[in-house]
Amino acid sequence: MQRSDHRIFVHVGLPKTATTALQQDVFPLLPGVTYLGFKGTRIADPALRAAAEMIVAALKFAAREIVEAPVLHPRLAQAVDAVARLRGPVLLSEESLATSANQLDYDRVPLVPRALRRLFGRRAAAIVVLREPVAFVASLLQQKMWTRPHAGRAIRSDGRWPRPRDIIDLHLDRSARGDPRFIFTSACRYDRILGWYRGTLGADACHVLAYEALFDERRLYRTAFAAILGTPPTDAVAGRENESSDAKRTEMARHFLGAEADPARIAEFAAAWSDVRSVVAADDRLTAYLARHCAAPYLAALRGMGIDRD
């Protein structure tokens, strides 16, 4: 087994698992770790920061080129060498390395662990944070409401705005047809995502944590990452909060209807999305899907953190 102090760790998400809080409030304060991230890094060396940014961008947008190129681009090879020379555990973070980054690069995701292995060999390791499946899908569906083609294709024929049921039906229908741009074909397959990383990097190099266990009253984020990285616990406090759900829904409504729309109509639109989690939980198709593809990996992540749930 590779010693953790020689590893290059990449936190790959998933989305909707407090990535921003981790990047800004936790990762920079992990003792004995060189954290190279777009947010929160305390590395002053501009050349090293540029090297890290190049590596993450290459994994995000050019994984296929990394995997298939006979020789790495010289600048990328230099960046990899600069990071590989660092002593102790190194941590990078980019949440879109486990899911599609822009709805058009869905075929990139299985290649990312292979690209990571090409860059760092057996030193490469991944950290994946999973969220309770129903909460994850509800949050992700609300996010996808913002983006075309999801919203545009779900508009009702009577001219009304799309409701949660419209977006769910759209995603399920497109996924059933094999369209990989939709979340039930790509982003929401915990078993598939972990299979890609474990199959390429090895089971001992793919570390899986549960979002709820990290941020409950025990604040396990202070010790869980330290245990993986082989460093002392941190006294960091992840206190940053994103916008409230109500504020997000209101902004979503303004985005979809237009900033000049009638305030009452904006409020009505936002209210229609207030029960998205209960809609997901009540849908037999979704609960069956999540039981098939997400429940076991999530429960295993909880057990790995000392929490046993039925």
Q: What is the DSSP string of 13-30?
A: --TTSSHHHIIIIIGGG-
Q: What is the pLDDT along the chain (310 residues), one digit of tens a residue?
A: 455 557 999 999 898 898 888 998 899 989 999 999 877 777 888 999 999 999 999 998 899 999 999 999 999 999 999 999 998 999 999 988 887 645 545 677 889 999 999 999 999 999 999 999 999 998 888 776 655 444 454 454 455 667 788 888 888 888 888 777 677 776 788 999 999 999 999 999 999 999 999 998 788 999 999 999 999 998 878 765 555 577 878 887 787 777 788 888 888 888 888 888 899 999 999 999 999 999 999 999 999 999 887 6
Question: How is residue 310 written in tokens?
Answer: 């039925």
Phi first, then psi: give them for residue 231, nearest 5 degrees: -130, 170
- Burial of 248 per CB tally in 10 Å (0-12, 13-18, 19+): middle
pTM above 0.95, yes or no: no
- pLDDT value at residue 104: 47
Domains, the chain, ranges and CATH? 4-304 (3.40.50)
- Best CA proximity match to 187, nearest among 151, 140, 138, 142: 140
Angle of helix 284-293 relative to helix 295-304, nearest 10 degrees, comes to 50
CA 102/CA 28 separation, integer angstroms: 27
- pLDDT value at residue 148: 47
Q: Are 221 and 238 in contact (CB under 8 A)?
A: yes
- pLDDT value at residue 247: 80
| Cα of 272 vs its chain's centroid, Å | 26
Please compute Rg for the chain using Cα positions.
20
- pLDDT value at residue 39: 78
Q: Are 153 and 170 in contact (CB under 8 A)?
A: yes
Question: How is residue 174 written in tokens?
Answer: 């497109």
Q: What is the DSSP string of 144-176?
A: HTTSTTHHHHT--TTSPPPPHHHHHHHHHHHHH
DSSP SS3 for 93: strand
